[in-house]
Amino acid sequence: MASKSNDSLVVGVDVGTGSLRTVLYNLAGEQVAEDRYALNNRFLAGGGVEQDALEWRAGLAKTFNTCRKKAGVKPGAIKAVGFDGTSGTVVPIDSQGFPLGPALLWMDTRSSGEADEINSTGDAILGFAGGRTSAEWVLAKILWLKRNFPEIYQQAWQFMEPPDYLSFLTSGEVASSYSNAVHKRHYAHSGGGWPVRLLDRIDLSSLMGKWPTRLCYPWETVGQVTPAAAAEFGLPAGIPVVNGGNDGPIALLGLGIIEPGNVCMTVGSSTCFLFLHHLPHAIPGFWGPYPDGVIPGCNLFDVGQVSTGSIIEWFKKLLFAGFGRSGNTSGFAELEIAAQNLPPGAKGLSAFDAWQGNRTPHNDSRIRGALWGLSLEHGPEHIYRAILEATAFGARQIFEVMATHSLSADKIIACGGGSRNPLWMQIYADVLEHDITLTQTSEAAALGSAIGGAVAAGLFPDIQSATTAMVKYSGSIAAGQDSFAPYAEAYQNYKKAYPCLKSLAESQ
């Protein structure tokens, strides 16, 4: 059994949509200290969403040093650092590590037209990504940037995603993760490696010299913290740096999922369901199979919803000016209680959770969300509950598609900030008719990166022993008996919404 001593600590850094989070863990997987740095998202016309990558840099320095002080870390106690982050978020940088422009956030859909062009090639490599690329992914974004900002494309030394950028800043080494490469850059070892033919077809052949081509698993050392990085960020010089990659797949490690059977449910700004399987073929509307996406020898599948927690944050801001900054938690607590006291179905008010498009099963980045059934009877609590129910309905639709391919889950293990919301988790459990297991830490992505760092530092012999020692479960949210029955009619209305909204969108 791993020691609970704080003499050996590992750092997990997770760059999310709304914040950068740094967590210190001991070798029993216990959280010793945590800090977060708010990230500003700029929402632009046409579906654009941008971040400033320099905020990631500032956030790392601030959060790590805060954690170090909170924990009273002894010299030499920090043994490794691992980075993960949103996947499909891409920033052009120069050779000195400075951004040449804003980072295009994963949910930026301005490249929908470019994604359509890429899909029209019918290139065989797309078969390893469910048959289609997406505006959420890297290729479409870089093609859009090349066309709209050609000078930035020409000047760019590298196009990096958040964990690539931070591992470069701390170690001086250019590397990416298998999870990001297979998940958002169309790398497939069994399909010939990098998508060179596809890049040629879309006039991006020069990109092969402009993105990281060295790939690492989360437990493989990218490099060591340099003296310059130690001075800037406070990290100990010489400790291993690992690139955990995509925050979704690395959360599998943080939940102890290293073989087929269980499903990872990451509830944050979006909700993702990830699982490992040996199924060799694509499922329409699903992302995958990604060969060796996080565990060698297993195919990774990723399905999910673009907008879930981000819709809740949007609604909070409508209700509470400056919510999250002003700390108006009492008003939101009252809203939670009022919504909890409502019956399923929100008294006839329905929502469709596509504020920023639909990922699964429709793979439609242009569709947008809706509320319908509004009356003067409805208040904020009805709208809030309708949003929560819509996200759960979207998840049920995903699991129904899985069932048609004989895929099921022994366990659904939840993580992410949304897993701390009891009402939301209960609605998910009831609508899915499946218990939801919780872990001691909701920051499974950060824990997964820290677990990878622990193996890289030689603190565990392999990833299995590390997850066994560091992942702890804390209980579950039980689905009630006949839990779905009260939602059945509302769910049918939810499924009817997509074709209606698509027709409206196409007529505009």
pLDDT, tens only, 412-444: 999 888 999 999 999 999 999 999 999 888 789
Could you report the per-residue pLDDT of 232-274, keeping only the tens digit for each?
A: 999 999 999 999 999 989 999 999 999 898 999 989 889 989 9
The answer to whether 100 and 94 have CB atoms below 8 angstroms apart is yes
Q: Which of 375, 377, 380, 374 is nearest to 337 (CA)?
A: 380
Each residue's pLDDT tens digit, 143-184? 999 999 999 999 999 999 999 999 999 999 999 999 999 888
Rounded-to-integer distance, Cα 59 and Cα 68, Å: 14
What mean pLDDT do residues 210-221 have? 97
Higher pLDDT, 61 or 507: 61
What pLDDT, on a 0 to 100 scale, did the predictor assign at position 324?
43
Residue 384 exposure: Cα atoms within 13 Å on the Cβ side: 25
Torsion of Cα atoms, 142 then 147 then 153 then 158, to 10°: 10
* Predicted confidence (pLDDT) per residue in 473-490, tens digit: 999 999 988 999 999 999
C-beta of residue 241 within 8 angstroms of C-beta of residue 170: yes
pLDDT given for residue 484 in this prediction: 96
Residue 190: the pLDDT is 75
Report in angstroms the alpha-carbon separations of 278 from 111, 193, 252.
Answer: 32, 19, 16
C-beta separation of 428 from 392 below 8 A: yes
Q: What is the pLDDT of residue 326?
A: 44
This prediction's pTM: 0.82
Secondary structure of residue 441 in the 3-state scheme: coil
Residues 6+ apart with CB under 8 A from 105: 17, 41, 49, 50, 51, 86, 89
Task: Supply the DSSP symbol for 18.
Answer: S
Give pLDDT, residue 325.
45
What are the distances in angstroms from CA 87 to CA 19, 184, 285, 348, 491?
14, 7, 18, 37, 30
Contact 1, 29 (CB under 8 A): no
Residue 397 pLDDT > 70: yes
Mean pLDDT over 39-51 rounds to 95
Going by their DSSP bridges, the two strands 262-267 and 411-415 should be labelled as: parallel
Helix (H, G, I), strand (E, B) or coil at 258: coil
Q: Are 461 and 451 in contact (CB under 8 A)?
A: no
pLDDT(384) > 90: yes
Q: Which residue has the higher pLDDT, 358 or 162?
A: 162
- If you average pLDDT over every residue of the chain, what do you get? 92
Count helices and strands in the chain by DSSP H and E runs: 16, 22
